[in-house]
Structure 1
């Protein structure tokens, strides 16, 4: 009899556990309306007359107190809202419109705090911007909590709000065709001191232009849509290559969906929606097909394809007597003015490969000095191309075009400029011994070392040589 009672008690215990799990599964379930969810991407699916809203399955807590949204597309009006709402918030209202909800709206930079009329709060947000929202859990008192908002990792402002009985749930609202965001419910938020350290380590200030590419910790990450050839993500260095800083490398950390990663050199005012190498004033080695693109959308077979873990490099072989009119100002970069002269840039790189554009002076094409641009893969030179340096110089440029692609100047991905004195004449062997190398490394941001580069004989092509000078 005791065995039978014990058996029934065990079955009843299992039933109760199953019921509790079912209740919890229903309780912690994401809700959304007039939105399409594909992985961590949310896109508006309404007719622009109706609001679409997403509510996360779990509220913010002390252990998970922050989330971020990256704007992939602003659509027609950019009416994207990011904030916190009660669990059973009505999905046909923007976050912040109804009581006990609060949200930062991208289209007007206003804060909506339980009211359809917003108050000016921060800057407007556009494509590529990151909007974050979090709570200071240690400041909660008597049913109140401090909610703060960020834009691109910097705090915009904060406000104290009452906490709903079930907590405050991350929410995203949209209200026009084409709007699309990427949601990161596991994003981390640090103190100003931690953020400052990250900025130094990531060398974000080394990049003059970041379009659809963001610096995320130690990564350069593509954040574009990746749906057409116009969705190029571009990262361009702040300084051009010079005789003192003439080579850089990138290691592929994540090839993404298609590995449409390109490494090369481009003029300073290079179009932001063109892959390096596609337009005049640029030359680039493309990882997905191993081709070199030299100012044209049609590439030439050049080297092997590159995959995850491969290191792609690019540099310039300057002639011994080469003098850059802006190089003396490189130590004081903020004072340097290396902007290309109007009317010269478009034809400087290309000599014969493209027809002259209307209004261009053919004589201007030959005013620049020729240099030899070379590319490497995993430390071995794979080829070179003679080009003309555009006015203002060639800037290290990285392009990406498919979802998930990531590169970084640290540990896993190395972006380094090897600095040294280079001297050679065309037709003779090249032997470079660098006395100083600047390597962006997580553990050693700046290092001093000696290194040798392969010797090069222009009559025999580019082949790796032994260490030291021949």
Structure 2
């Protein structure tokens, strides 16, 4: 049956087969067996097709190189999944069990090295993430979860740097807050890019990220119903506004003790675990208040979850895991409940609660005829400015002296 089929092909393709025989010099002895002859012809044709495919692949390869050299590569398009994009507004459209992610069409560069995202609505959980990712990042993962990506997550203030396990980085972000992300510097030789993040225009911190050949693209992730954010890919970070902060000395020398508190210029930020009542962040000044410097102030930059911020005066050897005012030899005003604690864990109603943006002050009203025998460490029983920080506060420089007739 096979022999008959092969023989039936013979008269139809004789001219084509003759051309193949002449071109490729198939041995004429194979013509005596139609099956062997056809096998040889098919093998030759397949080899020629492979050559044609290789030739086309080579031409395509040369074309891509030429387009890249001439800058004719088609511009990348923005990518997003489980999100609704209306102008510069992104809205989550998933079922809260799935991640939605947006990736901008162009990477950050020297000309455009910063972008911002404003939280319009935190939705059910406020799981909005802002950061940088490679061009073809998986859209079912939050930025920062996969390698070569980094992101600041609003829900917990953690930084995710190519790992699904984040590290405490900055304050939480809520409705109305602006989260910014930019590039400080790039080191192509080492393959490292330094990325920084801001909250409401103030730098939170920076991290080093492995760079990619195509650059890092702005990305926004969402993970719960009702989340809405506005993306500004043309935002500019006015460094001049923060230079005053950067130019201020770290002031670490002004602090005698810092426990789970980071001093950055005039900012104090809690960096502890915050899991129990013992996880206290304590900052105590090196020098006590005197007749020449008898007052200090603290501005609440971020109230955190419950605004557990307290400031007052305490002895030099005050326990590091106790709020000022709770133990003997201390007195403090607590922002969360407005109570005054004076050497006891039970406070008395004293003043109003303090929130974000409020300025709390503390001082000593020395009698007019008061004379110090010594100052600093030689001052017996000196009380040092002491505060507990659970978020970020700013130490006011050169605060105005309060009215001597007004109790502070």
How would you bin the TM-score normalised by the shorter chain? 0.3 to 0.5
Greater radius of gyration (CA): 2
Higher helix share: 2
TM-score under structure 2 normalisation?
0.42
TM-score under structure 1 normalisation?
0.37
